Structure 1
Amino acid sequence: MAERNRPNSKTIVYRSERWKKDHSRSVKPIEQKTCRIKDVCGTCQFINGDYQNSLDIKYRAGLEKLTDKTLLQGTQVTSPIPSPRSQAYRTHAKLAVRPATKSVTPHAKDGRFAIGLFQPKSHKVVDISFCPLHRNSINRLIRDLKPALNDSSLTPYDEETHTGDLRYIAIRASHLTEEVMVTFICMNDSKRLELKSMILQLRNLGHTISAAHLNVNGEQTNTIFGGVSKRLAGSDRLREELCDLSFEIGPTSFFQVNPWQAENVYRRVEQIAGPDRSHSVAWDLYCGTGQISMLLANAGYRTIGIEENPQATRDAQKNVVRNRVENTPQFVAGRVEEITENFPSWAQEPRLIVVNPSRKGLSDSVREFLKSTMARSQSRLIYVSCDINTLVRDLDDLKSTGKRVVQLDAFDMFPFTDKMEWLAVLN
């Protein structure tokens, strides 16, 4: 970044931009589309504006929060890595389904269903007919799904009365193909046959739906997915590929919404970890479907991955077999908070710890566990975070071990929003 964009701190050392040039893959530019519901939606703060300017603003805001806590003294800080795609990058959409009469968008009232996002800090649904950040296959599917639902016997979920059939729709699109996986989150499975028929109807309209599922969530909760998923049509998983590894992802498993930029993040983790010929132990906490675990295993680390979602753990195990990873990682299903005292004996002394938690960051107990582990084993920590506020909180606590942030990278995983993906290395 130019000199004028540096924060006011003489303790920050900027590295060369060579890595950024080498690892930001050139992708064919996408014509920028205009969002017509920005003021109503409020999700994407910078949409319809200049991309580079939005990137600079949120990057500097994040650095200010880190410097306010004196977390960047002597830290090597790179310029932010822009997303290879600034639009049409979101390959996963989790959309609320509510009665059209309760939508804040007037055009939604043309039918019975409102399908879209909640307005920030509310449960008012913004009906979405097109989002410039979604992959085109997702936009097209939403467009054709609405009339099919309006003609069906299904009813939208009403939060006030806890009644209705359909609560959410999750659509995931492969970033390398036109394959789509759609998951209907319903109160029960009574509409299973009708949903199967709807999938066939959408396929006849030209949608490449390779997998379709019904997920049952009858609980009165804000959680999107329930614990049971049933296949409606196609395969059990969606095929994906990152970092020369192939993956199959289940309907409730986590996978980065911007795979083009995710590859840059994972390659950066791989570079920082470096090869390990002595087979040192590495922890991959909140490992998802195993992308980082497999990269560490291929680099020579003896790796254990911990993941709360049992389906993601099963996917990770299958992905290891699929990619013929000889230095096989071990995966454990469970919350990190609950298994910290039960690590296998061989994994007690890690040389490298990678954490990639959700936006709520690390719990108090996990931070205490990591502090005692790092003090005992002299391990390095790579912290990948999608929320600057919880990252600052956690790093501020972890620095009490005497470790400091020696490197900081920022990746624009979510263009035109106020969020970024941050990567901090403690040593």
Structure 2
Amino acid sequence: KYGVPIYDEKAGSGIVRTIVVRTGVKTGETQLVFITNSKKLPKKREMLAEIEAALPEVTSIMQNVNQAKSSLIFGDETFLLAGKESIEEKLMELEFDLSARAFFQLNPFQTERLYQEVEKALVLTGSETLVDAYCGVGTIGQAFAGKVKEVRGMDIIPESIEDAKRNAEKNGIENVYYEVGKAEDVLPKWVKEGFRPDAVIVDPPRSGCDQGLIKSLLDVEAKQLVYVSCNPSTLARDLALLAKKYRIRYMQPVDMFPQTAHVETVVLLQLKDK
């Protein structure tokens, strides 16, 4: 309608690469993200005016610039076009702000079931220190913050950590600490600083845990380790490596998207006796 050229991956030309739509299932708020090959977005004012008039549920319109020749959807630069910079979703009686690049499970109803399985796996008395690796906007760690002494989380996306800090404040949670960085770098740094977790939850992307993090987990020797996986192949790979020091107590699959092949798996690993 507006003649804005679609990005041609082979030629490296065009502007609009992807449009991401995310809706807070429990709030109804919707965010649109235009992912473009350049900061230039022709007919921007006209498009925004039409979207706002036709779709009042859209409360956040963002633009992300990705000029890389790769399969990655998002680039590093994101800015606001209209509305708010984030939308809100609710999970386990907590509220979470979600910015454009921040990861959040797509099915909040089954996500609550998933976290219930994580809770079953952990034995918590209130005195433990817990690491939430690949923490995203802080959902897992904040869900268990009231059951432990301290939660620490890390993520490579700065906006996710900003969301996590803001969400903790919004939810009145004070015993959490978040840091931007790779889990395989941040965890060893914390250990050198004198912090040694009693329990670790890892919830990596489909590529699984970085091998550097596997080494760190084996060095740290947390008594309880819960692995939340979205990819059975990389889960099997990582469990074989963790088996050097950990015993698999049980696995619980969770059907996140019925009638599809996608499954999340919660695995409880217990440190072997020396």
What TM-score comes out, normalization by structure 2 length?
Answer: 0.93
Q: Which piece of structure 1 moves more, 406-415 or 209-218?
A: 406-415
Distance 1:284 1:274, change over 3 A: same
Instruction: Tell me which residue corresponds to 1:419.
Output: 262
Instruction: Tell me which residue corresponds to 1:239.
Output: 88
Q: How many residues align?
A: 270
Q: Percent identity?
A: 29
| Amino acid of the structure 2 residue aligned with 1:197 | E
Contact 2:64–2:76 (Cα < 8 Å) also in 1: yes
- Rg (Cα) greater in structure: 1
Measured in 2, the distance between the counterparts of 1:246 and 1:311 equals 17
Distance 1:347 1:286, change over 3 A: farther
Measured in 2, the distance between the counterparts of 1:417 and 1:165 equals 32
Instruction: Tell me which residue corresponds to 1:340.
Output: 187
* Cα drift, residue 178 of structure 1: 2.7
Choose the corresponding residue for 1:227, options 76, 87, 110. Answer: 76
Contact 1:183–1:251 (Cα < 8 Å) also in 2: yes
Q: Structure 1 unaligned segments of length 5 or more: list them.
A: 1-150
| Amino acid of the structure 2 residue aligned with 1:293 | G
Contact 1:304–1:329 (Cα < 8 Å) also in 2: yes
* Cα drift, residue 340 of structure 1: 3.3
Distance 1:197 1:312, change over 3 A: same
Measured in 1, the distance between the counterparts of 2:236 and 2:199 equals 21
Q: Structure 2 unaligned segments of length 5 or more: list them.
A: none
Instruction: Tell me which residue corresponds to 2:250.
Output: 407
* Cα drift, residue 218 of structure 1: 1.4
SS at match of 2:209: coil
Instruction: Tell me which residue corresponds to 1:388.
Output: 232
Kindly provide the CA deviation profile for residues 63-104 of structure 1, in whole angstroms up to 9, marking residues without a partner as x: xxxxxxxxxxxxxxxxxxxxxxxxxxxxxxxxxxxxxxxxxx
Question: Counterparts in 2 of 1:5-404, with a 5 A limit?
Answer: 151-191=1-41, 194-278=43-127, 280-326=128-174, 328-343=175-190, 348-374=195-221, 377=222, 379-401=223-245, 403-404=246-247
Give the number of the structure with larger relative contact order, counting CA–CA contacts within 8 Å between residues 6 or more apart.
1
| Amino acid of the structure 1 residue aligned with 2:164 | A
The RMSD of aligned alpha carbons is 1.6
Contact 1:175–1:259 (Cα < 8 Å) also in 2: yes
Contact 1:156–1:166 (Cα < 8 Å) also in 2: yes
Measured in 2, the distance between the counterparts of 1:153 and 1:184 equals 15
Measured in 2, the distance between the counterparts of 1:281 and 1:208 equals 40
SS at match of 1:177: coil
Measured in 2, the distance between the counterparts of 1:409 and 1:342 equals 32
Distance 1:188 1:350, change over 3 A: same
Contact 2:129–2:148 (Cα < 8 Å) also in 1: no
* Cα drift, residue 204 of structure 1: 1.9
Measured in 1, the distance between the counterparts of 2:34 and 2:254 equals 32
